[in-house]
Chain A
Amino acid sequence: MLPIVVALDVAFMRESLPALGEAAWVTVQMSGLAVGFGLVAGCILGSLRAIGPVGVQTPIQWFVNVVRGVPPLVHIAIIYFALPRVGLFLNEFWTGVAALTAIAAGYEVEIVRSALQSIDRGQMEAALSVGMSEGMALRWILLPQAIKRMLPPLTNELANVIKASSLLSVISVNELTKVGNDLIFENFVVAEVLIPVAALYLIIVSVLSLLSRYLEERVFAVP
């Protein structure tokens, strides 16, 4: 073990760290935006799946099927080539955000739906009986209780989105994996790049996990 550690080019690592840090920031921004948009879309679509009219169920289910059934890499490529065809010219960054958002939303629909449907039916009935509409019941009664149940699977999914952002290297987004790969091929070093890259992903996901745990135990805790 020791000879390998000694063999690491520490000077190179120190030198390349600012570039990797900058790339990690791109990763954080893209995943953050995708997670944010994905959450909003996932909550709306998931709520519609749980209590919405029958007519919207099938299209939402198809969306979920497509996202689940197509590998993220293929999915990203399709969005990258399809968007300009329909007249949407986004740069690599926003194309990446769009692709990740669709992936995040697709998986979150089912998380939100199952969490909402796990709430006792009596909660909705009680909300209706005090004069709330279904929408108000969703907003004030069901979702606040469902969020706590969503958090663990949601955290899993968000971690997946962060890691899926590494696939955006194929459409030349300068995120962490792409910049790391470039460094490897330009300088013919491997461990000196991959170790900090892995560590940076680990840090980003760990922060998310901590945040999730805090929300679950403190903010949404009910005795």
Chain B
Amino acid sequence: MQPLLKVSNLCKNYGSTTAVEDANFELGKGEQLVILGASGSGKSSLLRCINYLEKPSRGTIWLDGQTIGGHHNSEGTWIPDTEAELVRKRRDIGMVFQNFNLFAHLSALDNIAIGPRKVLKCPKSECRSLARALLQKVHLDRHADKYPSQLSGGEQQRVAIARALAMNPKLLLCDEPTSALDPRLTHDVLQVMQELAAEGIAMIVVTHEIGFARKIARTVMYLEKGRIVETGPVSDFFARPAREQTRQFLSYVM
């Protein structure tokens, strides 16, 4: 079966610094992948390259059989996507940020509704009822009219998840979704994400929450200095990490 996401030979350099070096991996439909690694190991860069928030320096990304950021023509020359094509493809990839990045001037409900409303041009009433349903899904139906500044961090992050889901993405990217939250709020966010995983929403999650990684992910990937140094099924990875460095990292976080 064709994988949902295929990343091959992905590299990202900032000047002479290499953030991601030759990343290769696949993700099946409905699967969850957790990316672990120390700060500065390139986890976020890798994630942000997938939806072209950062333009990869090299490499190809396929989502559902379609290349992102451009395509090879019949002669094998790389034709970059126009802005409009890229924007169209980005719709299929939702993103959840470490700092939530909710739209500060919009209520929780409008934060969720604005994507479908402006991008998909759905009728207003439809967008609002979709947003209400999603707020219910993240257990925040009572906070529809609150602004981001009136919500706790955990509530903001759950609104942000709902906002990403409103575009009905094929893949959800989560960039350290709980690292700005205290344990109590983290729990609420992880609970929602676990429910999504159970529903079969494909996710790539960069996190330091090992317990959470164990619960939701099928596969774990460990990054070091921009390289994927270890990949494996969740059970094996935590029980028998292949490398000494990985074992050491795990000993800090477990």
Minimum CB–CB distance for A128 against chain B, Å: 6
Given the complex, which residues of A lie within 8 Å of B101, measured CB to CB? Answer: 120, 122-123, 125-126
Which residues 80-103 of B have a CB within 8 angstroms of A?
A: 83-84, 87-88, 90-91, 93-95, 97, 99, 101-103
Which of A128, A131, A133, A144 neighbours the largest number of chain B CB atoms within 10 Å of its CB?
A131
Given the complex, which residues of B lie within 8 Å of A128, measured CB to CB? Answer: 53, 87, 90
Given the complex, which residues of B lie within 8 Å of A6, measured CB to CB? Answer: none
Query: Would B119 and A222 count as touching, CB distance under 8 A?
Result: no
Which residues 55-92 of B have a CB within 8 angstroms of A?
A: 83-84, 87-88, 90-91
Known: A125-B101, A141-B103, A222-B149. Is A131-B167 also a contact (CB below 8 A)? yes
Minimum CB–CB distance for B242 against chain A, Å: 34
Number of A interface residues at 8 Å Cβ cutoff, please give it: 21
Given the complex, which residues of B lie within 8 Å of A133, measured CB to CB? Answer: 83-84, 87
Given the complex, which residues of B lie within 8 Å of A194, measured CB to CB? Answer: none
Which residues 126-144 of A have a CB within 8 angstroms of B?
A: 126-134, 136, 140-141, 144
B interface residue count range (under 10 / 10 to 19 / 20 to 34 / 35 or more) = 20 to 34
Known: A125-B97, A125-B101, A222-B147. Is A131-B166 also a contact (CB below 8 A)? no
Interface assignment of A165: CB less than 8 Å from any CB of chain B: no
Q: Which residue of B lies closest to A125 (CB)?
A: B53
Report the separation of the CA atoms of residues A132 and B120 in the bound assembly, to the nearest whole angstrom: 10
Minimum CB–CB distance for A25 against chain B, Å: 36
Which residues 89-120 of A have a CB within 8 angstroms of B?
A: 120
